[in-house]
């Protein structure tokens, strides 16, 4: 499988959306003035709307409209599209209000552009998905071995056919404990692998089995090299598809081979610089509102304004994390938060949904105890317990903890259970391995989306 193919699909989506926006502008001018737009009229509208369209594309991105796993024609997709277009319309209106010198009649034109964009955009995305599912050839995939991560991959690919990957068969001589397995064929006879590769027209082979344990399997796969197949480890494929590290399928060698901490020193220093600058900026901008927030907290329940708790930072350093208090203090057992937790006050719920409760953590960032982006810091006593239950849990503190992170923008709620804690660790390790300026930018944009949707927890 060529991972660049999915990138090409995303680029096609972006290019198509750009064409949709300018086509919508052209149709708007045609309908508004009842004639083909001349060059003067077009130039008059081109640059203001180009600035607006640039922002609109960013809103499309942070609304997950370029994620192939969610860019499908279902109710969720339509909801995200309507939400993004509404935000775009309001931003466009604000732009023209703040720029009265532009000299065009924006209100009607902006409304028409938004309506036409909605119609043409949904039509274009419908056509795109039809082409992906029905006409573009799919890569046939074979998997050598079986475990929980393989099951997760099979479910992912079956739920998202637009990714263009079809699991043809699994090679496994043990008992498959998952009934049905999406009707995936099971091959137990290793000697027939080569024939099945040819028969099923396999282009990608995922290695979920340790080939060192079977001379026959290793020799058979080696004899298939001339077929032009792409062999990829389960670790790498799982990461690409899910954005997580399969923590139960890795060992100490994985960390030695993949976590190039020495090579990331320059990035960590650069990150500390923009963390400090941004934290000081946010502190200055938000400080006038702190007394008002404090007053509302006091009025909502008795207790202190701030919530201070010991957390584990980089390299097991203990620090005091600071947040605005969102829970009642009386009768609080300090147990981990759960959905619809009755301890959360009405105003506290608002602070959590909007992430305003996180603002005081900029003090931790200024002090060098945290970063804007990184794994969420855990309580020392809970971290100590989890280190004994979950493999490599302690490795998440190789970098500074963050106010937000890859796990928080992954789109799924994670409870304090061991199962969900493992998921959080898998996202954290993925970030530690792949952290970069570009990835930080993605996390910031998705965090903005979370705040706009008021989906904080």
The model's confidence at residue 297, banded by pLDDT at 50, 70 and 90, is very high
| Total residue count of the chain as it appears in this document | 457
Long-range contacts of range 62-69, CB-CB < 8 Å, 24 or more positions apart?
62/445, 62/446, 62/448, 62/449, 62/452, 63/449, 64/411, 64/446, 64/449, 65/13, 65/17, 66/10, 66/13, 66/14, 68/6, 68/9, 68/10, 68/160, 68/162, 68/163, 69/156, 69/160, 69/162, 69/163
Is residue 194 within 8 A of residue 223, CB to CB? The reply is yes
Helix 106-130 vs helix 4-33: crossing angle, to nearest 10: 140
Select the more confidently predicted residue: 264 or 336.
264
What average pLDDT does range 30-55 have in this prediction?
88
**Res 377: pLDDT:** 92
The model's confidence at residue 16, banded by pLDDT at 50, 70 and 90, is very high
Report the predicted TM-score, pTM, of the whole model to 2 decimal places.
Answer: 0.73
Residue appearing with tokens 């702190």: 290
What average pLDDT does range 240-260 have in this prediction?
82
How far, in Å, are 235, 253, 255, 300, 347 from residue 174 at the CA level? 21, 27, 29, 59, 55
CA distance 88 to 101: 21
What average pLDDT does range 15-30 have in this prediction?
93
Across 136-140, 269-273, 300-304, 342-346, least confident range: 136-140
What average pLDDT does range 165-193 have in this prediction?
81
Q: Which bin fits 81, alpha (ψ -120 to 50), beta or left (φ > 0)?
A: alpha
Select the more confidently predicted residue: 177 or 82.
82
Across 131-145, 379-393, 443-457, least confident range: 443-457
Q: Tell me what the pLDDT averaged over the chain comes to.
A: 84
**Res 21: pLDDT:** 94
What average pLDDT does range 256-275 have in this prediction?
82
**Res 105: pLDDT:** 60
In terms of Cα–Cα distance, which of 92, 65, 96 is closest to 78? 65
* Structure tokens that stand for 28 in this block: 């708007």
List of domains in the chain: 4-135 (no CATH), 139-242 (3.40.50.720), 265-452 (no CATH)
* Structure tokens that stand for 338 in this block: 């759960």
What is the per-residue pLDDT across 170-182, written as a single tens digit (0 to 9) for each?
988 877 766 556 6
Residue 233 has pLDDT above 70, yes or no: yes
CA distance 54 to 88: 10
The model's confidence at residue 457, banded by pLDDT at 50, 70 and 90, is very low
Across 101-115, 290-304, 399-413, least confident range: 101-115
What is the per-residue pLDDT across 104-121, written as a single tens digit (0 to 9) for each?
666 778 889 999 999 999
Residue 70 has pLDDT above 70, yes or no: no
Is residue 36 within 8 A of residue 30, CB to CB? The reply is yes
What average pLDDT does range 405-432 have in this prediction?
83
In terms of Cα–Cα distance, which of 237, 225, 232 is closest to 194? 225
What average pLDDT does range 366-393 have in this prediction?
91
**Res 5: pLDDT:** 62
């Amino acid at each position: 499988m060529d991972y660049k193919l999915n990138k090409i699909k995303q680029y096609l989506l972006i290019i198509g959306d750009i064409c949709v926006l300018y086509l919508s502008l052209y149709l708007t001018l045609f309908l508004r003035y009842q004639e083909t737009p001349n060059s003067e009229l077009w130039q008059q509208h081109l640059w203001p709307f180009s600035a607006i369209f640039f922002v609109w594309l960013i809103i499309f991105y942070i609304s997950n409209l370029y994620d192939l796993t969610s860019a499908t024609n279902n109710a969720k997709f339509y909801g995200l599209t309507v939400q993004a277009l509404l935000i775009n319309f309001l931003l466009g209106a604000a732009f023209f209000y703040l720029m009265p010198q532009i000299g065009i009649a924006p209100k009607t034109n902006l409304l028409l552009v938004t309506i036409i964009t909605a119609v043409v955009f949904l039509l274009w995305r419908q056509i795109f998905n039809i082409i992906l599912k029905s006409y573009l050839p799919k890569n046939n995939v074979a998997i050598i071995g079986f475990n929980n991560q393989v099951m997760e991959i099979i479910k992912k690919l079956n739920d998202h056919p637009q990714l263009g990957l079809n699991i043809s068969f699994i090679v496994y001589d043990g008992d498959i404990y998952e009934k049905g397995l999406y009707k995936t064929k099971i091959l137990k006879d290793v000697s027939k692998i080569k024939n099945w590769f040819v028969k099923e027209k396999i282009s990608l082979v995922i290695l979920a089995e340790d080939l060192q344990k079977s001379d026959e399997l290793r020799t058979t796969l080696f004899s298939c090299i001339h077929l032009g197949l792409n062999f990829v480890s389960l670790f790498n494929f799982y990461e690409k598809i899910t954005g997580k590290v399969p923590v139960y399928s890795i060992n100490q060698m994985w960390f030695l081979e993949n976590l190039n901490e020495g090579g990331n020193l320059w990035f960590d220093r650069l990150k500390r610089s923009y963390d400090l600058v941004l934290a000081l900026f946010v502190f200055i901008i938000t400080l006038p509102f702190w007394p008002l927030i404090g007053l509302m907290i006091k009025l909502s329940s008795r207790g202190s304004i701030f919530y201070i708790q010991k957390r584990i930072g980089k390299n097991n350093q203990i620090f005091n994390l600071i947040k605005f208090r969102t829970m009642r203090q009386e009768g609080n057992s300090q147990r981990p938060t759960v959905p619809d937790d009755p301890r959360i006050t009405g105003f506290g719920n608002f602070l959590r949904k909007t992430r305003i409760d996180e603002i005081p953590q900029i003090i931790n960032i200024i002090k060098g105890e945290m970063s804007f982006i990184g794994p969420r810091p855990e309580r020392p006593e809970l971290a100590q317990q989890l280190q004994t239950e979950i493999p490599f849990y302690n490795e998440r503190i190789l970098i500074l903890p963050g106010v937000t992170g890859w796990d928080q923008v992954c789109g799924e709620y994670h409870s304090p259970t061991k199962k969900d804690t493992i998921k959080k660790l898998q996202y954290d390790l993925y970030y530690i391995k792949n952290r970069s300026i570009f990835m930080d930018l993605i996390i910031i944009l998705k965090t903005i989306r979370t705040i706009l949707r008021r989906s904080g927890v």
